[in-house]
Amino acid sequence: MRIGYIGSDLTPHNKKKYTSSLQEAGCKKILQGTASLKRDESGALEALKPGDVLVVVALDQLANSVRELDETLEQLAKQRVEVKSLKEDLDTSTANGKLFTQHLSTIVGFQRALFQKALLKAKAEGNVGGRPALMDEKTVAAARKLYDKGKTPAWAIAEKFNVSLSTLYRYLAKE
């Protein structure tokens, strides 16, 4: 059975236009999503059965990233559900459609490898990522000295070093 899928991020005008396009493509049923298909909580993915053809107007209705699109197409293939995209003229039941999904998987793998390589390079250069520390060892030592004397309230110490009270306590607890 041909089943259409419409994501949630459409204007009412586009929703009508997409619904009309899916009906013209022979969809007997049209599912309205709540997010990209992979994260959809409406049960659209589970409603598909082996042999169904999922029709979308554009691939961006299925996923929000190339990686998510690859994962979604892979999951649909495991369910033996074919995908047809009207805008991109993609049909996973054809040789060209299967080739497209293989290329997409290759691109996602390449993208992942480049990202990992960049992370390793940054780590080797001393960049570990994340937010920069708000207090270095010297300021923590100065804050600890004030705190241990007991004359200055913690909120005043935090204010002096321009950090929140919870941040001050977290740094003081480390040593």
Strands 29-32 and 53-56: what pairing?
unpaired
Q: List pLDDT tens digits, range 51-99.
A: 999 999 988 888 888 888 898 899 899 999 999 999 999 999 999 999 9
The DSSP symbol for 65 reads S
The DSSP symbol for 61 reads G
Q: List pLDDT tens digits, range 11-37.
A: 778 888 989 999 999 998 888 876 666
Structure tokens at 42: 């409406």
Q: List pLDDT tens digits, range 136-174.
A: 999 999 999 999 998 999 999 999 999 999 999 999 998
**Helix 165-174 × helix 137-149 angle, to 10°:** 100
What pLDDT is recorded for position 83?
94
pLDDT at 104 over 80: yes
For the chain, state the CA radius of gyration.
Answer: 26
Helix, strand, coil % (nearest 5) of the chain? 55, 10, 35
What pLDDT is recorded for position 175?
65
What pLDDT is recorded for position 51?
93
Integer Cα distance of 29 and 89 in angstroms: 20
Could you please report the per-residue DSSP string of 34-52?
SSSGGG-SSSHHHH--TT-
Integer Cα distance of 37 and 59 in angstroms: 10
For the question of whether the overall pTM of this predicted structure is more than 0.95, the answer is no
Q: List pLDDT tens digits, range 33-55.
A: 766 666 666 677 778 899 999 99
